[in-house]
Amino acid sequence: MHRIAHRIVFLDRDSLLANVRRPAFEHDWQDHAATAPHDVVARLRGATIAITNKVPLRAPELAQLPDLKMIAVAATGTDNVDLAACRERGIVVANIRDYSVVSVPEHCFALMLAVRRNLRAYAADVEAGKWERSTRFCLLDHPIGDLAGSRLGIVGYGALGRRVAQIGRAFGMEIAVASRSPVTDGDVMALSLDELLATSDVVSLHLPLNEQTRNMIGARELASMKKSSILINTARGGLVDEAALAEAVSNGVIAGAGFDVLSKEPPVPENPLLKLRLPNFVLTPHVAWASGGAMQTLADMLVDNIEAWVAGAPKNVVA
**pLDDT, tens only, 9-25:** 999 999 999 999 999 99
pLDDT band at 182 (very low <50, low <70, confident <90, very high): confident
Q: What is the fold of 103-283?
A: Rossmann fold (3.40.50)
279 Cβ contact partners less than 8 Å away, ≥ 6 residues apart: 118, 120, 121, 124, 142
Domain 7-99+293-310 is found in CATH 3.40.50.720:
yes
Q: Nearest CA to 265 among 15, 11, 9? A: 15
Q: What is the pLDDT of residue 184?
A: 86
> For the chain, which residues make up each domain, given as ranges?
7-99+293-310, 103-283
Return d(Cα 219, Cα 231) in angstroms, integer: 13
Tell me the pairing of strands 49-52 and 7-10. parallel
Contact in structure between 249 and 257 (CB atoms under 8 Å)? yes
265 as an active site residue: the answer is yes
Give tens-digit pLDDT for 207-223: 989 899 999 999 999 99
Residues 6+ apart with CB under 8 A from 103: 288, 289, 290, 291, 293, 294
pLDDT tens digits, 283-306: 999 999 999 999 999 999 999 999
Tens-digit pLDDT profile for residues 153-176: 999 999 999 999 999 999 999 999
Q: Is 107 part of the annotated catalytic residue set?
A: no
On the question of a common fold for 7-99+293-310 and 103-283, the answer reads: yes
3 is catalytic: no
User: How confident is the prediction for the chain on average, in pLDDT?
Assistant: 96
What is the separation, in whole angstroms, between the first and last Cα of the chain? 34
- Nearest Cα to 155, choosing from 243, 78, 233? 233
Beta bridge partners of 73: 52
Write down the pTM of the prediction.
0.89
Catalytic residue among 236, 247, 270, 277: 236
